[in-house]
Amino acid sequence: MIEFIGILLAFILIFLLTAKRVNLGPTLLLASLILGLTSGLTPRGFLEVARLTVTDYTTYELLFSIGLISILGNCLKETGLMVELIENLKGYFSSRFLIALIPALFGLLPMPGGALMSAPFNEREVNRLGLRPEEKTFVNLWFRHVWFFASPISSSTILISRLVGVNIYRFLLSVLPLYFLLAFVGYLFSIRKIRENPPEEKHGSSISAIIKGFLPIILAVLLNILGVPLPIAILVGVILVLSLGRIGFRMSIAAIWRGVPWGILLALVGIMFFRYTIKEAGSVTLLFMGLREAGVPVLVLATVFPFLMGLISGAPSSGIGIGVPLVLPLFSEPSLTVLGLIYFSIVTGYLLSPLHLCLVLTNAYYKSDLGKVYRILAPSILTLYTTGLLYFLPRL
């Protein structure tokens, strides 16, 4: 009985502290302590958990990969390459296409609250099209997140592939149809309804500026596909950005330092520690197995629980770090389809979450009514989720 009380207390703590915006790292360390103590884990057991965490190659691969991706994004911003890229793309595309493309491009740079970066760049185009504040918020929020099911340099896809030990490109290939589904649902609920104004006079655009903006990201992905470890591939991309940006040695060091996501790195350590605590304590796994034996359909546990984790935490890393180690063992033969279903449920819950930082910041920037934003967001999520489930269920 005390084990289940410990599980309940641990999860209440996670939800409360996450809602208070406490970093996920210390939050999961405290939750691990509660889980371990109520499951009879000895001091030696906690030391074993710590040893497994600090000696696991995955821990360092995650830290370096996600840290360098954040640095890459900050360097693209501070060198001005991203700004030049977007300004020059405006010479080639309509405003209707640009209002989706601009947040999508910033979405390639996985930075907390990054929607606040794309909102000012999108403002001229959304104003030209006469969008209401709630429509501006939805477009900026939705299209920033289309890469969840397509980008190999997304912190979420890297995290889930490393936690499970599956090739990231195999995983992305299995969920790629959801990328098109997410983009189509966004089009259906926003872009389709917008009437294009007569195009304004376009000034000359530089192809070289567009190439320079995309090249570091493309090179990093290609190197990784060819077998170069992801941290090294991204490091090459960072070096290329700094070379193309020509901002000098001191400014380069400053851009790198400002790009280090200390909070995210701390959260990753907490995720790995929590993962091994669950494995060593065993109580959470027993609870889920008990629910399964009590007749709760495993598909309910694989969809509802991850969805709630994304919704309540407001952070995909939280949902992945907590949900995947708990739900995946319920399946005797976990497949890419099962993994994709869990991931899809987490992401969908996250997109709907009122704690989602991108939603909070975009809503504040455009001064929109959150209730009216949800009138667009809720049916969009319902359409996305039900259609996504129809994609997964026949393949299980």
Mark 338-349 as b/e (b = at least 16 C-beta within 10 Å). Answer: bbbbbbbbbbbb
Closest to 93 measured CA to CA, from 122, 132, 61? 122
Per the structure block, which two tokens stand in for 98? 């640009």
pLDDT in tens, 107-157: 877 665 567 678 877 887 888 888 999 999 999 999 999 999 999 988 899
Closest to 37 measured CA to CA, from 29, 269, 290? 29
In the chain, the amino acid numbered 303 is T
Per the structure block, which two tokens stand in for 260? 């280090």
In the chain, the amino acid numbered 113 is G
Q: How far apart, in Å, do the first and last CA atoms of the chain sit?
A: 34
Mark 249-269 as b/e (b = at least 16 C-beta within 10 Å). Answer: eeebeebbeebebeebbbbbb
Confirm if 47 and 340 have CB atoms less than 8 A apart.
Answer: no
Instruction: In whole angstroms, give the CA distance from residue 37 to residue 104.
Output: 44
What share of the chain in percent tops pLDDT 90?
Answer: 30
Range among 100-104, 107-111, 183-187, 362-366 rated most confident: 183-187
Q: Between 74 and 185, whose confidence is greater?
A: 185
pLDDT in tens, 251-261: 999 999 998 88
Closest to 171 measured CA to CA, from 339, 395, 347? 339
- Over the chain, what is the mean pLDDT? 85
* pLDDT of the residue at 47: 92
**Does the pLDDT value for residue 201 go beyond 70?**
no
- The structure's pTM equals 0.81
What's the half-sphere exposure (Cβ side, CA atoms, 13 Å) at 177? 11
Per the structure block, which two tokens stand in for 340? 């994709």
Q: Between 176 and 108, whose confidence is greater?
A: 176
Question: Residue 197: which pLDDT band, with cuts at 50, 70 and 90?
Answer: low
* pLDDT of the residue at 111: 61
* pLDDT of the residue at 345: 95
Q: At what angle do helices 95-107 and 168-189 cross, to 10 degrees?
A: 150
Overall average pLDDT of the 343-359 stretch: 89
pLDDT in tens, 4-25: 788 778 878 877 887 677 887 8
> What ranges in the chain are assigned the alpha helix state H?
2-19, 24-38, 43-55, 57-78, 81-89, 95-107, 115-128, 133-144, 155-164, 168-189, 207-225, 230-245, 249-259, 262-281, 283-293, 298-313, 316-327, 336-352, 357-366, 370-392
Collapsed DSSP state (helix, strand, coil) of residue 260: coil
* pLDDT of the residue at 347: 95
* pLDDT of the residue at 135: 94
What share of the chain in percent tops pLDDT 70?
Answer: 93
pLDDT in tens, 260-313: 888 888 888 988 898 888 778 776 667 766 776 777 787 888 898 899 888 877
Instruction: In whole angstroms, give the CA distance from residue 141 to residue 267.
Output: 23
Q: Which residues contact 227 (CB under 8 A, 6 or more apart)?
A: none
